[in-house]
């Protein structure tokens, strides 16, 4: 929780309580937070008052009890720790580093993670070698360590001592918190399903390297519009639902959406770069493929990419090479054989994941 009124201001200032200015209360005095909360509580204890919180002139929340308001403010304060560039974020990172240097359990965990990732890298090399020199995508396979629901200390360990740069996350809020406290030398990948409401936050992550889950024109236009000027170009993959499962997001491989989205990225989005296509695929197919069969989802994605490359060349006269983001813990060697340029590996590096409710960064 921030102790410094200057830092409180940065997140409290967009909010205004009717009846009195929250902002002024926070910023003029050097009042300790608890004192401030107490005075706030006593101010609104009178039940005849309505306490509405406004943002940009719009009512966003009404509080009927002091406890409600307290809780809301405390949760906002907790989030402030995760604003990039603040003293709090820097402190949180120092704490992580200190833990890595002094805590035996954390050190053992770091060693285990480094060994795990070395194993995965060896499997990637073997799969590449087995596929030969004509593999789609050539010699390049980028390993994305999928750190969703795993603590930031795991990421620091792999980044600092395991030489790992690319990390993947599924939830925007979790990614936001992690990126704020972790080094900007990390390249983040967003691989989770993308809600329109979260696009704005995602676009503002400067060291976000790629978004793998593009599935609509609306979302690419929003990403392009909300990506701040001067930030690096954001790579995007269009997610294709190769298995046709209702539970999976992604565009229909046979529909018109794919071509529309690709066109908009290429022609209307100067802040985005079309990197390629992504699929998750059906679990059953990944298991079948383990017994020596070719994974149908990966084969499908290759076909869709080839069709798209040909169409871009014939209609627009441009030769492009699309990268494929496919392959997870259970099936990445097969994906590499079939031409994956990016593999997304989580549990075989980090172990089983906790539930979302139990996870803490
Ligand atoms: C979680 C996740 C992964 C990693 O899965 P593992 O089986 O743990 O390797 C890869 N891709 C996506 C889209 C994911 O959500």
Hey, where are the domains in the chain?
Answer: 5-80, 93-350
What pLDDT does residue 52 have? Answer: 54
Distances (CA, A) of 338 to 289, 327, 335: 12, 10, 5
CA 130 to CA 124: how far, in whole Å?
10
pLDDT of residue 51: 52
Q: Write the CA distances from 102 to 94, 99, 116, 163, 187, integer angstroms.
A: 12, 5, 22, 20, 27
Question: What is the pLDDT, as a whole number, of residue 274?
Answer: 98
Q: What is the pLDDT of residues 91-150, one digit of tens each?
A: 889 999 999 999 999 999 999 999 999 999 999 999 999 998 889 988 999 999 999 999
DSSP 109: H
Q: Token pair for residue 214?
A: 């593009």
- CA 3 to ligand 1 centroid distance, Å: 38
| Pairwise CA distance, residues 158 & 167, whole Å | 10
| Beta carbons of 279 and 238 less than 8 angstroms apart | no
Residue 344 Cα: closest atom of ligand 1 = 10
Q: What residues contact residue 221 under an 8 Å CB cut-off, 6+ apart?
A: 264, 268, 269
pLDDT exceeds 50 at position 177 = yes
Distance in Å, CA 294 to ligand 1 centroid: 20
| Ligand 1: centre distance to CA 293 (Å) | 21
Beta bridge partners of 187: 166
193: its two tokens: 């399903």
Q: What is the atom index within ligand 1 of the atom nearest the CA of 278?
A: 13
Q: Which of 191, 212, 325 to mutate to test the pocket of ligand 1 (most atoms within 8 A of CB)?
A: 191
Quick check: helix, strand or coil at residue 254? coil
* Distance separating the N- and C-terminal Cα atoms of the chain: 15
**Which architecture characterizes domain 93-350 according to CATH?**
Alpha-Beta Barrel (3.20)
User: Which pLDDT band holds residue 247 (cuts at 50, 70, 90)?
Assistant: confident
Which residues does a 6 A CB cutoff place in the pocket of ligand 1? 146, 148, 170, 191, 280, 328-330, 344-347
Pocket test residue of 170, 190, 328, 359 for ligand 1, highest count of atoms within 8 A of CB: 328
Residue 153's pLDDT is what? 95
CA-based nearest residue to 326, from 302, 346, 344, 308: 344
Ligand 1: residue whose CA is nearest its atom 10: 344
What average pLDDT does range 216-232 have in this prediction?
97
From the CA of 349, how far away is ligand 1's center (Å)? Answer: 11
Please choose, from the candidates 190, 225, 226, 228, the residue with its C-alpha nearest in 3D space to the C-alpha of residue 211: 190
pLDDT given at position 261:
98
pLDDT digits (tens, 9 = 90+) for 5-26: 444 444 344 444 433 334 334 4
Which range, of 40-49, 153-162, 188-197, averages the lowest pLDDT? 40-49
Residue 142 is predicted with a pLDDT of 98
- Cα–ligand 1 centroid distance for 106 (angstroms): 24
The answer to whether the beta carbons of residues 11 and 80 sit under 8 Å apart is yes
Q: What is the mean pLDDT of residues 175-196?
A: 96
Its pTM stands at 0.82
**Nearest Cα residue to atom 11 of ligand 1:** 344
How far is residue 73's CA from residue 90's CA, in Å, rounded to a whole number? Answer: 22
pLDDT the model gives residue 77: 59
Q: Are 120 and 143 in contact (CB under 8 A)?
A: yes
Per-residue pLDDT at 286 exceeds 50:
yes
Model pLDDT, residue 30: 39
pLDDT, greater one: 246 or 74: 246
- Mean pLDDT (the chain) is 84
- Rounded to whole angstroms, the Cα distance separating 264 from 217 reads 7
> Separation of 324 CA from ligand 1 center, angstroms?
15
How far does residue 322's CA lie from ligand 1's centre (Å)?
21
Q: Where are the beta strands (DSSP E) in the chain?
A: 15-17, 51-55, 58-63, 142-146, 166-169, 187-190, 208-214, 234-239, 272-278, 323-325, 342-345
pLDDT of residue 141: 98
- Atom 15, ligand 1: residue with shortest CA distance: 192
Q: How far apart are the C-alpha atoms of 25 and 249, rounded to whole Å?
A: 46
The pLDDT tens digits of the residues spanning 306-343 come to 999 999 999 999 999 999 999 999 999 999 999 999 99
Task: Give yes or no for residue 281 having a pLDDT over 90.
Answer: no
User: In the sheet that 58-63 helps form, which strands lie side by side, from edge to edge?
Assistant: 15-17, 51-55, 58-63
Residue 4: pLDDT above 80?
no
Ligand 1 pocket test, candidate residues 331, 332, 346, most atoms within 8 A of CB: 346
Distance 248 CA to ligand 1 centre (A): 13
Q: Which residues of 109-147 are buried (b: 16+ CB within 10 A; e: fewer)?
A: bbeebbebbeebbebbeebbeebeeebbbeeebbbbbbb
Question: pLDDT tens, 42-92?
Answer: 444 444 344 555 545 555 556 656 566 667 666 655 666 678 888 888 888
**Hey, which residues does 273 pair with through a beta bridge?**
235
């Amino acid at each position: 929780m921030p102790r410094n009124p200057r830092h409180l201001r940065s997140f409290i200032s967009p909010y205004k309580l009717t009846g009195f200015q929250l902002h002024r209360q926070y910023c003029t005095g050097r009042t300790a937070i608890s004192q401030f909360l107490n005075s706030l509580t006593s101010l609104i204890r009178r039940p005849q008052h309505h306490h509405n919180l406004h943002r940009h002139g719009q009512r966003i929340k009404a509080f009927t009890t002091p406890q409600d308001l307290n809780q809301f403010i405390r949760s906002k304060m907790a989030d402030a720790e995760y604003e990039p560039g603040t003293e709090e974020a820097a402190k949180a990172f120092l704490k992580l580093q200190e833990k890595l240097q002094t805590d035996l359990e954390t050190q053992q965990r770091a060693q285990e993670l480094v060994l795990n990732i070395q194993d995965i890298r060896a499997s990637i090399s073997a799969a590449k070698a087995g596929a030969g020199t004509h593999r789609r995508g050539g010699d390049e396979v980028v390993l994305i360590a999928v750190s969703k629901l795993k603590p930031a200390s795991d990421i620091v360990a792999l980044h600092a001592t395991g030489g790992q740069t690319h990390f993947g996350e599924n939830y925007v809020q979790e990614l936001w918190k992690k990126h704020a406290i972790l080094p900007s030398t990390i390249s983040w990948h967003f691989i989770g399903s993308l809600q329109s409401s979260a696009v704005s936050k995602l676009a503002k992550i400067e060291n976000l390297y790629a978004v793998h889950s593009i599935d609509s024109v609306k979302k690419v236009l929003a990403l392009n519009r909300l990506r701040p000027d001067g930030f690096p170009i954001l790579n995007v993959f269009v997610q294709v639902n190769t298995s046709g499962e209702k539970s999976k997001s992604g565009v229909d491989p046979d529909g018109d959406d794919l071509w529309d989205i690709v066109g908009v990225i290429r022609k209307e989005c100067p802040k985005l770069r079309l990197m390629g296509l992504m699929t998750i695929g059906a679990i059953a197919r990944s298991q079948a493929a383990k017994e020596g069969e070719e994974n149908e989802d990966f084969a499908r994605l290759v076909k869709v990419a080839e069709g798209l490359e040909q169409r871009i060349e014939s209609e627009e006269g441009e030769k492009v090479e699309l990268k494929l983001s496919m392959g997870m813990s259970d099936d990445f060697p097969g994906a590499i054989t079939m031409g994956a340029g990016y593999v997304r590996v989580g549990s075989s590096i980090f172990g089983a994941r906790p539930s979302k409710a139990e996870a803490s960064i």
